[in-house]
């Protein structure tokens, strides 16, 4: 037995205490999100469980092999039954799909692959009827190269108003043959592409344009007033239709440093490197890399997190405030440390930011505790609630990450030739991590399929891969396709029920193992991951954990591998160590992470429970 958990008693409200107390481990720490206190009320999003729908892979109603908006409408009863509060839908706009829809050609219409605007309106109304709110994705950093503006920019010469909407520059070198600076694309390779026209009119030959991502995703120029006005008009278009909020893609990237100075670093979304040998589930004190949340601020790249982005969000906040119903903005900003990220959710800016530090903390009690503490403290310092997330469409699904030899690593995709995960160990840890996450105050983001315990597809063929990052890195990054595989709804049907029986093959092949995870194999089955999620979400709502206050338990001793806190009446205990631990006898278990979680009054390794005081 490595330790004994003791409840710390009821949570008295208190002031925010400094980070690091759980690492010290001996005293209970109170961290109160100040949001409700400062506003006197909690808008829906501050405690919501928000389910990410990746529409290409959710449900295919029209049978073209790709999911669609009608598929979302059809599955709303499933989502209601799951117990979520809102959905965030990844892009469904008109797009050539060079980056799975994050390359938008028309921001005001639905791509025919996904349906029509009428399908959208019907989906929105049906969701609202069920009390499910709808957040859509806005991609303001770049458009598709098929967007009318970019076509105009190509046709108009250098110096034209059409070119000024994008980041065109003359090249360096005698004939402009060198890119304007040395920036690298997040997807690999140079962040600049030179136009092909032999004579583009510029003194030094064809100009170059900037793209932080794929060459088919040219970056907009956010110093251009027309760009700013257009994006506000797009916000209004969807607000008028009734959406409840926007997830802002690459929110930290819109404004670049003046003069576009050279920068030797590699821009990245996920810092995928493993944290070396110590990064096992054995806690290793100060040497453990703390999920990228370093004490010292890392040097900021000239592409990201520039001061100018905040003006944009202040303006958008005002636009949203004109509409009734607590419309919201959530930032996708890969920014560290937590205090820096908190600047995006200051009063009058965005409402939430994804907490990627928590996602990157891996299966490691100290890193998780530190991330939780720092996130709550930083968010509370600006009067905002915190958010939590374990998986999304850009990262390896967490059951797979946690099944790797280094369960704190976040590789940029996994292929057949790479280490394969321990599937059952990963799932056990994933379910325990879910209990940790859902017990935390604030709002939580779920990624479609995690409620089924879906693993990553780790053996996709080269020919099936579609992620531009795979191609731009020459396959070095396996890419994000493995977490985007169409969902299995029915183990007996073709394509596991992703589409109708006569549907085209799903756009990405599903692994055979998906049959075991299909909804029909889990629905109503005690102990299944789906029933586990339903139960956890219902307890979360019943005990109002979203609005609660976190109090660290003394069981968080450095090196113990135990993560434990109370939130209201609920005591959460997670065992990230390799030994069983005792559970407090004065408490009873209300939910455990899996069938093997408990051994009498002991909590097994790789497991978690929620407990309440025995009455």
Catalytic residues: 249, 322
Q: Name, in order, each residue with C-beta under 8 angstroms of 553's C-beta and a sequence gap of 6 or more.
A: 5, 6, 7, 8, 28, 564, 565, 566, 571, 573
Classify residue 605 as exposed, middle or buried by CB count within 10 Å of its CB (0-12, 13-18, 19+).
Answer: buried
Distance CA 461, CA 481 (A): 11
Q: In the complex with ligand GLC, which residue's Cβ is closer, 305 or 332?
A: 332
Three-state SS for 485-533 is CCCCCCCCCHHHHCCCCCCCCCCCCCCCCHHHHCHHHHCCCCCCHHHHH
Nearest one of 231, 223, 51 to 133, comparing CA atoms: 51
Confirm if 56 and 66 have CB atoms less than 8 A apart. Answer: yes
Distance between CA atoms of residues 136 and 139, nearest Å:
10
Contact indicator for 62, 69 with CB cutoff of 8 Å? no
Q: Cβ 269 to ligand GLC, closest distance in Å?
A: 5
Min dist. Cβ of residue 242 to ligand GLC (A): 24
Three-class secondary structure of residue 587 per DSSP = strand
Q: By C-beta, is 114 or 533 nearer to ligand GLC?
A: 114
* CA atoms of 187 and 190, how far apart (whole Å): 9
Q: For residue 458, what are the contacts with CB-CB under 8 A and spacing of at least 6?
A: 400, 414, 415, 416, 418, 420, 421, 482
Residue matched to tokens 């479609």 = 448
d(CA 204, CA 235): 39
The three-point CA angle 45-50-56 to 5° equals 140
DSSP helix/strand/coil, 87: strand
Q: Is 170 exposed, middle or buried (0-12, 13-18, 19+ CB in 10 A)?
A: middle
User: How far is residue 181's CA from residue 301's CA, in Å, rounded to a whole number?
Assistant: 13
Pairwise CA distance, residues 203 & 387, whole Å: 50
Query: Is residue 606 left, alpha or beta, with left meaning phi > 0 and alpha meaning psi from -120 to 50?
Result: left
Q: Are 64 and 92 in contact (CB under 8 A)?
A: no
> Nearest approach, Cβ of 476 to ligand GLC (angstroms)?
17
Is the distance from CB of 342 to CB of 354 less than 8 angstroms? Answer: no
- DSSP letter for 457, please: -
Nearer to ligand GLC (CB atom), residue 312 or residue 382: 312
Task: Choose between 469 and 570: whose C-beta lies nearer to ligand GLC.
Answer: 469
H/E stretch holding 106 reads strand 106-110
Least separation in angstroms between residue 221's CB and ligand GLC is 17
Tokens matching residue 227: 């760009």
Q: In terms of DSSP H, where are the helices of 452-550?
A: 468-472, 514-517, 519-522, 529-542
3-state secondary structure of 29: coil
Residue 352 bridge partners (DSSP): 330
Place of tokens 């531009």: 468
- Quote the least distance from Cβ 91 to ligand GLC, whole Å: 9
Positions touching ligand GLC (CB under 6 A) are: 99, 102, 139, 213, 249-250, 269, 332, 393-394
Tell me how far apart the alpha carbons of residues 172 and 178 are, in angstroms, rounded to a whole number.
5
In the bound complex, what is the minimum distance in angstroms from residue 448's beta carbon to ligand GLC? 14
Shortest separation between residue 376's beta carbon and ligand GLC, angstroms: 24
Dihedral sign for Cα atoms in the order 594, 600, 604, 609: positive
Nearest to 5, CA basis, from 563, 605, 590: 563
Give me the least distance between CB of 54 and ligand GLC, in Å please: 9
Find the shortest distance in angstroms from Cβ 283 to ligand GLC.
31
We find the least distance from the C-beta atom of residue 423 to ligand GLC, in angstroms, to be 25
Classified as helix, coil or strand, 598 is strand
> Please, what is the minimum distance in Å from the beta carbon of residue 444 to ligand GLC?
18
């Amino acid at each position: 037995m490595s330790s004994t958990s003791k409840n710390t008693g009821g949570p008295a409200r208190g002031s925010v205490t400094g980070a690091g107390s759980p690492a010290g481990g001996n005293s209970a720490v109170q961290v109160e999100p100040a949001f409700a206190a400062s506003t006197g009320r909690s808008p829906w999003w501050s405690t919501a469980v928000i389910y990410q729908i990746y529409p290409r892979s959710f449900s295919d109603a029209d049978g073209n092999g790709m999911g669609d908006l009608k598929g979302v409408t059809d599955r709303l009863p499933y989502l209601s039954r799951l117990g979520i509060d809102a959905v965030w839908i990844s892009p469904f706009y008109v797009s050539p799909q060079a980056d799975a829809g994050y390359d938008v050609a028309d921001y005001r219409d639905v791509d025919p692959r996904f349906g029509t605007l009428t399908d959208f309106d019907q989906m929105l109304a049906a969701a609202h009827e069920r009390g499910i709110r709808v957040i859509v994705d806005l991609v303001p950093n770049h458009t598709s190269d098929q967007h009318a503006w970019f076509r105009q920019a190509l046709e108009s010469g250098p110096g034209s108003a059409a070119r000024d909407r994008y980041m065109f520059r003359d090249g360096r070198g005698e004939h402009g043959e060198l890119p304007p600076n040395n920036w690298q694309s997040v997807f690999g390779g140079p962040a600049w592409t030179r136009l092909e026209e032999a004579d583009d009119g510029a003194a030094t030959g064809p100009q170059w344009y900037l793209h932080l991502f794929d060459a088919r995703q040219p970056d907009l120029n956010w110093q251009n007033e027309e760009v700013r006005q257009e994006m506000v008009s797009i916000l209004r278009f969807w607000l008028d239709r009734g959406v409840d909020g926007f997830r802002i893609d690459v929110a930290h990237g819109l404004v670049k440093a003046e003069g576009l100075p050279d920068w030797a670093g590699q821009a990245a979304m996920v810092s995928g490197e493993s944290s070396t040998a110590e990064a096992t589930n054995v806690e290793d004190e100060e040497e453990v890399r703390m999920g990228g949340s370093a004490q010292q601020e890392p040097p900021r790249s000239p592409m990201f997190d520039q001061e100018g982005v905040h003006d944009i969000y202040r303006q958008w906040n005002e636009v949203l405030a004109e509409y009734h119903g607590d419309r919201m903005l959530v930032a996708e900003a890969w920014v560290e440390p937590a205090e820096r990220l908190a600047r995006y959710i200051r009063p009058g800016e965005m409402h939430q930011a994804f907490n990627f530090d928590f996602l990157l903390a891996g299966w490691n009690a100290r890193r998780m505790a530190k991330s939780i503490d720092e996130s709550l403290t930083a968010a509370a310092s600006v009067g905002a609630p915190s958010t939590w997330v374990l998986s999304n469409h850009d990262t390896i699904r967490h059951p797979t990450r946690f099944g790797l030899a280094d369960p704190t690593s976040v590789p940029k995709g996994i292929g057949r030739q790479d280490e394969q995960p321990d599937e059952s160990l990963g799932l056990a840890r994933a379910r325990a991590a879910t209990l940790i996450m859902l017990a935390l105050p604030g709002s939580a983001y779920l990624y479609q399929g995690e409620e089924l315990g879906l693993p990553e597809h780790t053996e996709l063929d080269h020919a099936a891969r579609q992620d531009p990052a795979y191609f731009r890195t020459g396959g070095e990054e396996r890419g994000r396709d493995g977490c985007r595989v169409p969902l299995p709804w029915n183990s007996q049907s073709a394509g596991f029920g992703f589409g109708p029986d006569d549907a085209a093959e799903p756009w990405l092949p599903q692994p055979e193992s998906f049959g075991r995870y299909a909804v029909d194999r889990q629905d109503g089955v005690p102990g299944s991951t789906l029933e586990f999620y339903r139960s956890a979400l219902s307890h979360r709502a019943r005990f109002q954990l979203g609005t609660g206050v976190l109090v660290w338990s003394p069981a968080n001793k450095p090196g113990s591998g135990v993560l434990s806190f109370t939130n209201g009446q609920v005591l959460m205990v997670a065992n990230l160590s390799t030994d069983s631990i005792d559970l407090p006898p004065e408490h009873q278990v209300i939910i455990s992470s899996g069938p093997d979680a408990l051994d009498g009054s002991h909590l097994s390794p790789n497991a978690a429970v929620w407990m309440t005081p025995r009455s």
